[in-house]
Amino acid sequence: MRRLAVFNNVTLDGYFVDGHGDMSWANTARESAEWREFTDQNATSGGVFLFGRVTYDLMKSFWPTQQAAEMFPVVAERMNNLPKVVFSRTLDSVSWKNTTLAKGELAAEVRRMKQESGADLVILGSGSIVAQLAQERLIDEFQIALTPVVLGKGRTMFDGIREKLALKLVKSRVFGNGSVFLRYEPA
């Protein structure tokens, strides 16, 4: 059985995107060699990426570029070559290498994917998908990179949760750049 993990950068005030849906504030953490080594190691662990349409559009506009390859060669190689699934009711096709379009009901599709053999599943960004799948108790692990930035407003990755979701901390790591990595599992 495959596991489903979420990896998201979150600000000190709990947002994963600002009031305009922008996440460029998360780039401040990447300025650290220690942080870059950590993200490179995570990128090499493999998996199947799951995206919503908005995150898919954002990712495909950056990772296949020469700029991404120069700035983040390890991560760019993995982002471009690992399998990806985009969940969308509005897209008719996808153009990013190794990407499949899923148009079915989200929770049912993910339940089916988790039952299959193969690499684990990872959600990056995609707050509405995180909230929906967390509510359905389909997420096995929440990896949160707490970034020392305060936005004042924005959107949490749990917007729309109707019931309390109790989590237990299973790992943490503090980085010299002020970022903190937190890994939680359902309690």
**CATH for the stretch 4-186:** 3.40.430.10
Closest Cα partner for 141 from 186, 74, 109? 186
Q: Which residues of the chain have pLDDT under 70?
A: 28-31, 40, 43-46
pTM confidence score: 0.89
> Looking at residue 28, what is its pLDDT?
64
Q: Which residues pair with 17 in a beta bridge?
A: 155
Residue 174 forms beta bridges with which residues?
Answer: 180
Task: Give the N- to C-terminal CA distance of the chain in Å, as an integer.
Answer: 19
* 38-68 pLDDT tens trace: 876 775 566 899 999 988 998 899 999 999 8
- Is 139 in a helix, a strand, or coil? coil
Domain ranges of the chain: 4-186
pLDDT at 160: 87
